[in-house]
Amino acid sequence: MNRDGSLILPLHVLPEGILMPSTTLSLTVTDPDQIRMVDFAVRDEKIVGVVATDPDTGQGFKVGTAAGIMKLYRFPGDVVRLSLRGLYRFRIIEAVHGWPFAMARVEKLETVFPDDGDEIEAWRKAVELQLRRIMELTPGIPDELQMVTLLRDPEKLGFVAAGGLEAPVHEKQRLLEEDSIVQRLRILRDMMSHEIQILKLRDMIQSQVRSEMDKDQREYYLKEQMKVIQKELGDENENPEALELLKRLEETDLPDYAREAAEEEIRRLNRMHPGVPEASVTRNYLEWVLQLPWSNFTRDRLDLERAGRILDSDHFDLKDVKERVLEFLAVRKLNPSGKAPIICFVGPPGVGKTSMGRSIARALGRKFYRLSLGGMHDEAEIRGHRRTYIGAMPGRIIQGVRECGTANPVFMLDEIDKLGRDFRGDPTSALLEVLDPEQNNTFRDNYLNIPFDLSRVKFITTANTLDTIPEPLLDRMEIIRIPGYTEDDKMQIARRYLVKRQIRESGLSGRTIRFTPEGIRTIIKRYTREAGVRELERNIGGICRKNAVRVAGGDTSLVVVTPDRIPRWLGQWKFLHEPALSKPQVGVCTGLAWTPHGGEILFIETLLAKGSGKLVLTGQLGDIMKESARAALSWINGTGRAPGRDFSQTDVHVHVPAGATPKDGPSAGVAMAASMLSAFTAVPLRSDTAVTGEITLRGRVLPVGGIKEKVLGALSSGIRRVVIPGENARDLAEIPGEQLSQMEILTVDTLEQAVDMLLYREESDV
């Protein structure tokens, strides 16, 4: 002991549990440093400081128990077994360094007793009473713990009772750190009250379990007695349901492994009483096994010419999709045993992804089944539930196959990009096996628990975007992109399909209503803005329904849908397409933009003002578009294309109209550079020319996407001259020849070439 009353003790941190004063603890030590600590303590005063570990931080607490080493055993392999007894409480003052093990300077803690001895005695008796109750609820409690009730010392009683409770370390540590004996006993009382409640609940649960077990054993005994009585009377009949299922099994063509599983279940059913719940579960399982089309296949119609006619009659354009379907049919015809690839149609809503799946099924002569995956969170929707669950069923894949009645339907998994995941599982992971031709020949549903061959199923998936589809799943699919329709595409689709269908569904005929091409084009341009044709069909249907009211009222005269009549049915125009500029203007360049509903022109305006060299960008521009503007300004400044201009004294304001619409992307870089240069040099830009392309600080023009849509968007706005990056020249093959012949397409590789084509000069033919 030091002069200030402190002690220096070797420390041992308990990984689990806590040691209380007046209690014992057996401890096994294998760490070499801890063994050296034990040897030091034995040579010194045979006292070790023991502290518990804080479960939250993993560090030792500051208050612990000094323990005396009562027994020590050494075993081969550097293993030491200790028997410790708690002596008194202490608090760590500081760590003592320079030892190969933990040492600390500690101070001994004293217990504070109140002046009123009756109060302590009352608390002691209350704790003793609770302890006796715990012993009554805990059979087989050790004798040494039962002797605790004989302790008259309230301090020892509290520590020994707390040490025997199954309480969290935090609660026991709080009791150990408390100096007041009254407060310590109060904490112990709360801990023991909680322990008594748990023990009562445990007894109640055990009593209920015993009651249920006794009931089940009694039912089993009575059933066995009934069987013996029936056998003695010669009235032992087999389960008629089992006989019926066995007869159906003999008439059904099943694989050997499925037949063996079904026969085993039928034998189990035959041994059951018809009234037990398990019999119903087994019957449902056998019904599913027998109703599945294990070997029932639809014969493919591999006539390529017929399939091409069906696809053309159902869908306009979509050349890539139709070619891929015909390729599949050709391979199937030459190699019937080949594995079918998994196709994923990716495109905006309303372009015909789902209806293309139906057409493929019709062309093949197969059954069609559509499963919507949008918002699905539960993995059991794909794999099913195990039979142990109440109301268990197979997953949606097996359900769809049974509904089709064939083992090779066309199975469309719609909206695969909208799958969710949560605590119920990850459906995406379950689809990894379904959509892998190398694995799905042994697909195992949790409910069936026997393999089912899905390799003959033609799986087709659809998605609006690929960003949310995990890479492993995406790797299993062949991506076919379906772009949005152009204005001319929508025109053809409306004339060939939509108008006829809506007239027929409204109960009208060609004698009562007729749509002119100009009227259809007005609906497309003024009342819809979409990549697909759903809204277009809704508007055509709306006109037909309003005329159906007229015809139903007795007016059967012919109505011709022309542009000037459409507002009376659909109201005023909803959308206005930006017209081309009528004359060249300084600082205004015509750019091209791609949107999900097609291409359109975009005006970029630049205005200069005296200032401090700031660049102001407005029009709700994205980060990439802002970077293009900064790059354009740096190019003009760095190349000296605006001589005599003091950039440090000039503010440049670039604005893109339609500020409520977010805009982003690098393809406006050339247009921004031309707009700024026109403002700096006061040379106007040609109003009959639109431009697209990404730029670099060195003045290179890089390729961009959506060339087809952008060129057709310029054409619909009255622009016949378009400047595009040289590397995008290969994309012109996608533009129909009729529209391309009306355009003058200029290709550039540098900004110098682009601005020379865009700046208006008197000798230019505008």
Q: Which residue in 322, 353, 710, 716 is the catalytic one?
A: 710
Q: Please state, in angstroms and as integers, the Cα–Cα distance from residue 393 to each residue in 281, 332, 389, 765, following that order.
A: 10, 34, 9, 74
| Cα–Cα distance for residue pair 283/269, rounded to 1 Å | 8
667 is an active site residue: yes
CA nearest neighbour of 130 among 207, 70, 194: 194
Catalogue the E-assigned strands of 364-440: 368-372, 410-414
| Cα–Cα distance for residue pair 343/328, rounded to 1 Å | 10
**R_g over Cα of the chain:** 42
Q: Helix or strand or coil: residue 363?
A: helix
Sorted by sequence, the CB contacts under 8 Å of residue 400 that are 6+ apart come out as 369, 371, 409, 411
Sorted by sequence, the CB contacts under 8 Å of residue 234 that are 6+ apart come out as none
DSSP 630: H
Burial 472-498 (b: 16+ CB within 10 A, else e): ebeebbeebebbbbbbbbbbebbeebb
Scan for tokens 């201009």, then name that residue: 645
Q: Apex CA 192: angle with CA 190 and CA 197, to 5°?
A: 100
Scan for tokens 């025997």, then name that residue: 164
Helix count and strand count (H, E) for the chain:
26, 24
C-alpha atoms less than 13 angstroms from C-alpha of 378 in its C-beta half-sphere: 8
CB 108 within 8 A of CB 25: no
CB 104 within 8 A of CB 167: no
Sorted by sequence, the CB contacts under 8 Å of residue 649 that are 6+ apart come out as 610, 611, 612, 613
Q: Which residue in 667, 675, 678, 687 is the catalytic one?
A: 667
Catalogue the E-assigned strands of 554-644: 559-561, 588-595, 598-610, 615-618
CA nearest neighbour of 725 among 757, 688, 681: 757
CB 594 within 8 A of CB 709: yes
CB 462 within 8 A of CB 357: yes
Sign of the four-CA dihedral 702, 707, 711, 713: negative
CA dihedral 37→41→42→47, nearest 10 degrees, is -130
Sorted by sequence, the CB contacts under 8 Å of residue 256 that are 6+ apart come out as none
Maximum pairwise Cα distance, the chain: 120
Residues assigned a catalytic role: 667, 710
